[in-house]
């Protein structure tokens, strides 16, 4: 019961905080101020998000919800494009480049590192990546499953990839759990220090 109360308080505070941030940082400076005191061009530009926001409000009604569907599609499309672009340019390509550099013997020798160790690390990353990709065969055609039946060793490779994915998720979960426990310990220490410094001396 106390946990549910804390969750409700947290959600309420987070929703109120986000609402105040949106009002102060987005709606007022980007919408209301240009409409009230902006130039004619700024008012025309501000009318576009105002109309889109008004159409989005129609999603709360079943009868006129179709008017807000294009706005939802626009938001989802822009969000997906931004996420894919950020993931590709900010994560995928740098990771591929960094992994490929592990096999650059000339750069390894110039840096003074042991090339055998670096090649070993690069080989582990390459093999782990290939085995992980071998597990994701759910959307392949029937020919892929016939290939699995013909070459049974592919099934074992897929199992190894599944084990690597499970290990990765376990490590990530352990990291998140460790961070949560650290935050809990810090809050408990804060509350204990507060009680020691204020409540106990007063009593």
Rounded Cα distance between 127 and 170, Å, is 20
List pLDDT tens digits, range 147-163. Answer: 666 666 777 777 888 88
Rounded Cα distance between 65 and 88, Å, is 34
Task: Return the domain boundaries, the chain.
Answer: 105-203
Residue 146 confidence (pLDDT) = 66
Residue 170 confidence (pLDDT) = 92
Which residues are within 8 A (CB) of 116 and not within 5 positions of it... i.e. 6 or more apart? none
The sign of the torsion formed by the CA atoms of 91, 96, 102, 108 equals: negative
Rounded Cα distance between 33 and 8, Å, is 34
**Percent above pLDDT 70 for the chain:** 89
Burial state string for 27-45 with b = 16 or more CB within 10 A and e = fewer than 16: eeeebeebeeeeeeeeeee
Q: Which pTM does this prediction carry?
A: 0.53
| CB atoms closer than 10 angstroms to residue 68 | 19
Whether residue 202 is predicted with pLDDT greater than 60 in this model: the reply is no
């Amino acid at each position: 019961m106390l946990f549910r109360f804390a969750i409700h308080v947290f959600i309420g505070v987070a929703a109120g905080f986000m609402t105040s941030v949106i009002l102060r940082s987005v709606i007022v400076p980007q919408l209301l101020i240009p409409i009230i005191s902006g130039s004619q061009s700024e008012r025309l530009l501000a009318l576009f998000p105002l109309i889109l926001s008004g159409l989005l409000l129609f999603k709360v009604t079943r009868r006129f919800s179709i008017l807000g569907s294009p706005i939802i599609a626009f938001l989802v499309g822009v969000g997906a494009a931004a996420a894919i672009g950020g993931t590709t340019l900010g994560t995928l390509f740098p990771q591929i480049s960094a992994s490929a550099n592990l096999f650059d013997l000339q750069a390894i020798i110039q840096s003074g590192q042991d090339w055998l160790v670096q090649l070993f690390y690069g080989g582990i990353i390459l093999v782990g990546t290939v085995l992980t990709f071998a597990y994701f065969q759910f959307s392949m055609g029937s020919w892929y499953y016939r290939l699995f039946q013909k070459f049974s060793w592919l099934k074992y490779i897929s199992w190894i990839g599944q084990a690597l994915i499970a290990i990765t998720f376990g490590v990530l979960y352990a990291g998140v759990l460790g961070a949560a426990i650290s935050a809990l310990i810090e809050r408990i220490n804060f509350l204990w220090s507060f009680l020691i410094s204020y409540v106990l001396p007063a009593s």
